[in-house]
Amino acid sequence: MDGCRMNCELLATCSALGYLEGDVYHREPDCLESVKDLIRYLRHEDETRDVRQQLGAAQILQSDLLPILVQYPQDKVLFDAVVRLMVNLTQPALLCFGKVPADATSRHHFLQVLSYLQAYKEAFASEKVFGVLSEKLYDLLQLDWEQRQEEDTLLIERILLLVRNVLHVPPDPTEEQRVDGDATVHDRVLWALHISGMDDLLKFLASAQMEQQWALHVLEIISLMFRDQSPEDLAVLGQGQAGAEHGEDTRELQSLRQRELAEKRTRALQRPYRHSRFCGSYVLQGLKAIGDRDVVFHKGLHNLKSYSHDLGKEPRRVPRRRQAAPEAEVPHRSARNVRLFLHRFCRDFLEGCYNRLMLLVKEHLVREKAQQHDETYYLWACAFFMAFNRRRGFRPELVSETVGVRAFHFIEQNLTAYYEMALMDKKEAVTWARRMHLALRAYQELLRTVQEMDRSPEPAVRDSSQVIKSNIFYLMEYRELFLTLFRKFDETKQPRSFLRDLVETAHLFLRMLERFCRGRSSLVVQSKRVRRKKQPRAPAAPQPPSTEELQELWAGLAPQLQACLQGEVPLPEDVVPFDAASETPVEEQRAEALLRIQGCLRDARVPQALRLLRSARDVWPEGDVFGPPNAGPPEETRLLQDIFFALLPQHAPPEAEEPEEEEEAEEEEEETVQVSEKEFNFHDYLKRFACAPVVRALVLLLRGYPRNTARTNHCAARLLHRLARDLHMEPLLFQLSLFALFNRLLHDPAAGAHQELVALAKFILGKFFALAATNKKAFVELLFWKSPAAAREMSEGYGSLREGEGAGRSRAPPWTPQEEQLLRELYWKYKEVEGSDVAGAILAQLPAPGRTRRHLVKHLVRLGLIGSARELPRQRKGTRIVLWTQEQEEELTRLFEEFRGSDDVLGRILQHLTARRSRARVVDKLLALGLVATRAELYKKRRRKGQDPAPGAPAALGQDSSEDGDSEEEEEDEEEDEEPMEGPEEGAGPGLAQRLHQEGLAGPLRWLQSCLRRTAEDREEDGASHPAPLVPLSEENEDAMENRRFQGLLRRLGLRPPESEQETFWRIPAALTPRLLRRAAASITHRGPDPSGSPQGLPEPPQCPRDPDPAASPQPPDSESEEPDPSPPQPHTKRERDLDSEDEASGSSGPAVPPEDEELQPLGRRKRIRRVEEEEEED
């Protein structure tokens, strides 16, 4: 429906309502249908609320709806429809738009609707309107529950909502510029409500047993009635003569008069004798102008103090995000008759309704029967009526429902919830701060009520007060509340009034706690400590069975396997190795099939393993991964044996790939709160307030000391006095902002009204100038907010904390000139050592204990040896150590001589080395020093079954050191590229290969030969050539790739080393044809007998390579051979399949581990395979 037609229909509908002639309204026959049409139009209005705006502009409510309501109350159907329409029209603008719009257009519509609501409120300031509503509500409440229909209940609710909407309309500050005591629109509405008797009906609804469902509606209306009122002013109303009621106004006027007279007296004393037209010109020495000359002052000397360079300049615009939060509306003093009526209402409400109504509202809130944020009305009612009761003549029985430990707990829970939401919901932080202010006021009034109970003449009331105080002082949450609010105070989100109430409440709490502790020899309180226990990123992998255990298990499986192969045992038919609907790639499912076969064999489920092998052979026939298609029983036995003894990696734990948010949530679930009890010390608790945020908040509040009340200034000054005098921390207040405030205070003509602040200012300034006489840096310290440690250093000396008992335990002793000279020498000594940890090496050589790496780096920056701490970064576990110092070589020789008789020489050496190095580095250094002739001498020696281990020898091959070595080898690959490569000593490739065979590198040569042949076959099948990386998956192959002679062989064969930091492995260039690759593989074939003595030609699937480590090979226990079994290559179709098969053998089927979790991986193979995958993605 377009705008023009809508206007025409609205005009026709409004015309059909009727017309007003004088004071009589004549309705049309279609009046009821027209009202229903208007309700339907409002239901379908757009986001700009166009229908609502047009009806407001036409003044339908003032000219039609209210006259119909007043003159036709007997027509029940019409009355119900009109009330329903008025409830919709008077709906708050915030509910219509959701929030205050940010854009200009929507904000214009919002303000337009708000202006119409203000006009509606002025129209409702009529005794006739509220009289009709009161009579109708009275008649409905007279009906019993058996006679009351559903329409009657809805009409009661709509009348209450209509009153709520009218009272909710905010005042118009541009129209209502009235002085205190004058009646505003809100006052006139309240007076009409009082004359009609609506206030008595509200009290009846609050106290009636049968009207419990209207508790929240009544409380909301009451809170809107007292929106502009002060409980203290209402409480003292009517207790004396009219002149005595204005005592506070008289005192305020006298203060302003004294200020004015003091200013006049000061101006008279500063007035010069000469005429103002002959003021002269003066030169201000020491004060530079824009140029290099002194400032020339062209005014009288009496204006010299007000001179500033900022005169005439435009003030800097403060960004919106830094502007102070807007203050709440200043309470307006209503007309005296309105205040008297509200005073009587408060008195009657407290005596007959308060406890019952608050109980019902609390029950609705706890059972979540109320709407969202309805607890704010409960908090307001607690603060308002308890303050009224306290000032009027304290009667604790009138507010007993909201005085107790449960009330404290409820308010503290809401206050903490508002505080947390203000930190999380940044966009609505101002709204949450307003709700937090309501909770803080209720908390403050609870404390004041408990304080009044201490002064009660009745012993039972005093005993109740002691019980409440012992409970709230015992719990830690109540004691830590004010510290948290001070530290998180933000003036851009929280108004100055919130800070005022916070300071007054904290002062009251401290005074009550101090008096409570003063009368007791000791006070035991609750203490909570949060312990965070992080869950391990990856659970420890189960230890694989030993070779002896596997051989015994295989010997037991042999008869069962023969029976299955001969058909004596039926094989299951429900074993499926491949899932076509799974999201897991086919290659990963093939690796999982190998793991399932191995698991079935080791669990003695031979029929399932055999069926799984045959099914997998049918699914993946290419490459003979699971044997040839026509494999017989001997070949299947050999394949199952190879899979049974192979070292297949298990799947990585799923926790490794969970997002960071879930990891944090798990860690939070592991947080445990330890609750204990300790003896409370008020002096130690007061020290918690000695921090910069608290002092900054107090200074911010005292900046407005002329506008603050005397109590506010007293509370702020008392808190500062506690910090400075009671704690002897005067330097904590040595701050330039506070001194500027003291300067303004001491030069204020009306400073006589603030004697407490003046005394504090003189005390602090005297302490400062006394300290400045001995500490020349005191003036510089004025620029900074200080902590207790800095304040103590400022007064006792800047080295006092380092020498004091128990102070600054983490601080290192001061640096002496001799230590600084030694530090310079050590820095220049280790700076030239390439790849060394300079800070760690220096820290190990310093004689003085108690140094930390952080202190060392900071002092190096202070001495100017380095520019910043980034020049000496902390190296990760397994740092790259390239050069060996003489001391390290001597240590290595000593450790070799000490452990050369043990079963695991290399493992013991790696465990006891001071500087962490990889296994390959240590082996190379032992060979270079001539301590061993071949690598075979460093292999772990085997013991026969049942033989006792040697004293001090480890039970397994140094796994701890191997884990460190894996992380070190990852970083050492790049270093080898930078070092110059030595060429092979032999001229031809076959000769160099024979020499490598003699040195014990037969296994790596066979691995290299198989890689060359597989690459040749892949290039023949694909018809294309791509660079293929050489990925060493065993420790022996990794050591061989770092051997200089082996690298020389790779160069002679035409293989390319890593070219950049992004590449890690050697590669087979794309230029090598299959013929050249086969020729290169044939050139390194061993011509003599195999040194291991193992049979040649044993078929082995390349997807299940056995680790050449003798501890993992299926050899008899008494075998002394340290060489792996030969594994001739099997044909493959694609290079990618070859890499996938190697991934399966190395454990890459598990989820990838993030780079930051590399130290948690127990094997180094997964890291290398991951880098291959990253290089393949980059290619």
pLDDT digits (tens, 9 = 90+) for 107-157: 999 999 999 999 999 999 999 999 999 999 999 999 888 888 899 999 999
Average pLDDT on 730-755 reads 90
- pLDDT confidence bin for 565, thresholds 50/70/90: confident
Residue 747: the pLDDT is 85
Sign of the four-CA dihedral 54, 56, 58, 61: positive
Provide the H-helix boundaries in 455-492. 459-474, 476-487
Tens digit of pLDDT for each residue in 813-826? 778 888 888 888 88
Question: What is the model's pLDDT at position 344?
Answer: 93
What are the tens digits of pLDDT across the range 594-617? 888 888 887 888 888 888 888 888
Distances (CA, A) of 1124 to 613, 643, 939, 1092: 25, 16, 12, 7
pLDDT tens-digit readout, 754-769: 899 999 999 999 999 9
Q: What is the pLDDT of residue 984?
A: 33
CA Rg, the chain, in Å?
Answer: 45
The partner residues of 19 in beta bridges, in order of sequence, read 26
Confidence of residue 591 (pLDDT cuts 50, 70, 90): confident
Q: What is the dihedral of CA 549, 550, 553, 559, to 10 degrees?
A: -150
Q: Which residues contact 812 (CB under 8 A, 6 or more apart)?
A: 802, 848, 850, 851, 852, 855
Task: Please report the sign of the dihedral spanned by the C-alpha atoms of residue 693, residue 699, residue 704, residue 705.
Answer: positive
Q: What is the mean pLDDT of residues 1149-1169?
A: 40
CA distance 779 to 769: 10
pLDDT band at 942 (very low <50, low <70, confident <90, very high): low
Q: Tally the residues of the chain.
A: 1179
Angle between helices 692-702 and 710-721 (to 10 degrees): 150
List, in order, residues 6 or more apart from 68 with CB less than 8 Å away. Answer: 17, 18, 25, 27, 31, 78, 82
Q: Which of 1132, 1129, 1092 is nearest to 1108 (CA)?
A: 1092
CA pair distance 527, 549, nearest whole angstrom: 54
Q: What is the pLDDT of residue 943?
A: 52
Strands (E), 971-1098: 1028-1029, 1067-1068
Check residue 121 and give its pLDDT. Answer: 93
Residue 1101 has pLDDT above 70, yes or no: no
Residues 106 and 92: their CA atoms lie apart, in Å, by: 16
Q: What per-residue confidence (pLDDT) applies to 1050?
A: 85
Cα–Cα distance for residue pair 802/945, rounded to 1 Å:
60
Strand partners, 618: none
- What DSSP state is assigned to residue 520? -
Is the pLDDT at 689 greater than 90? The verdict is yes
Q: What is the pLDDT of residue 589?
A: 76
pLDDT tens digits, 567-587 = 777 778 777 776 666 667 766
- Range with top average pLDDT, 51-60, 235-244, 533-542: 51-60
Backbone phi and psi for residue 284, each to the nearest 5 degrees, phi listed first: -90, 100
CB 89 within 8 A of CB 96: no
Distance CA 112, CA 107 (A): 8
Per-residue model confidence as pLDDT tens digits over 992-1004: 777 787 777 888 8
Q: Across the chain, how many H-helices and E-strands are there?
A: 51, 8
Instruction: Report pLDDT for 116.
Output: 94
- pLDDT for position 138: 93
Provide DSSP, 172-189: -TTT----TTS--HHHHH
Percent of the chain with pLDDT over 70: 76
pLDDT at 497 over 90: yes
Q: What is the pLDDT of residue 249?
A: 67
Secondary structure string (H, E, C) spanning 261-276:
HHHHHHHHHHCCCCCH
Task: Give the pLDDT score at 1119.
Answer: 35
Collect contacts of 629-635 with beta carbons under 8 A, ≥24 apart: 633/562, 633/565, 633/566, 635/1099
What is the pLDDT averaged over residues 930-953?
61
Least confident of 537-546, 722-731, 1060-1069: 537-546
DSSP 1100-1166: --TTSPPPSSTTTS---TT----SPPP------S-HHHHHHHHHHHHTTTSPPPPGGGGGG-S-SHH
The CA-based dihedral angle spanning residues 921, 922, 924, 928, taken in that order and rounded to the nearest 10 degrees: 130
Confidence of residue 269 (pLDDT cuts 50, 70, 90): low
Which pLDDT score, from 0 to 100, does residue 804 have? 43
3-class secondary structure, 156:
helix
pLDDT of residue 1139: 35
pLDDT of residue 450: 94
Higher pLDDT, 794 or 1105: 794
Q: Encoding tokens for residue 701?
A: 């509040």
- Structural tokens at position 986: 């032999």
Q: What is the pLDDT of residue 798?
A: 81
3-class SS string, 777-826: CHHHHCCCCCCHHHHHHHHHCCCHHHHCCCCCCCCCCCCCHHHHHHHHHH
Planar angle of CA 1003, 1007, 1012, nearest 5 degrees: 150
The span from the CA of 504 to the CA of 520, in Å, is: 25
Residues 51-106 have pLDDT tens digits of: 999 999 999 999 999 999 999 999 999 999 999 999 999 999 999 998 888 889 99
Mean residue pLDDT of the chain comes to: 78
Higher pLDDT, 625 or 634: 634
Question: Minimal CA–CA distance to 1129: which of 1011, 954, 994, 984?
Answer: 1011
Q: Which residue has the higher pLDDT, 1066 or 497?
A: 497
Q: How far is CA 152 from CA 39, 155, 370, 463, 547, in A?
A: 20, 5, 22, 49, 89
Q: Is 671 helix (H, G, I), strand (E, B) or coil?
A: strand
Highest mean pLDDT: which of 437-451, 530-544, 667-681? 437-451
Residue 1160 has pLDDT above 80, yes or no: no
Output the pLDDT for position 93: 92
- Global pTM value: 0.62
Q: What is the pLDDT of residue 1093?
A: 38
Confidence class of residue 1113 from pLDDT cuts 50, 70 and 90? Answer: very low
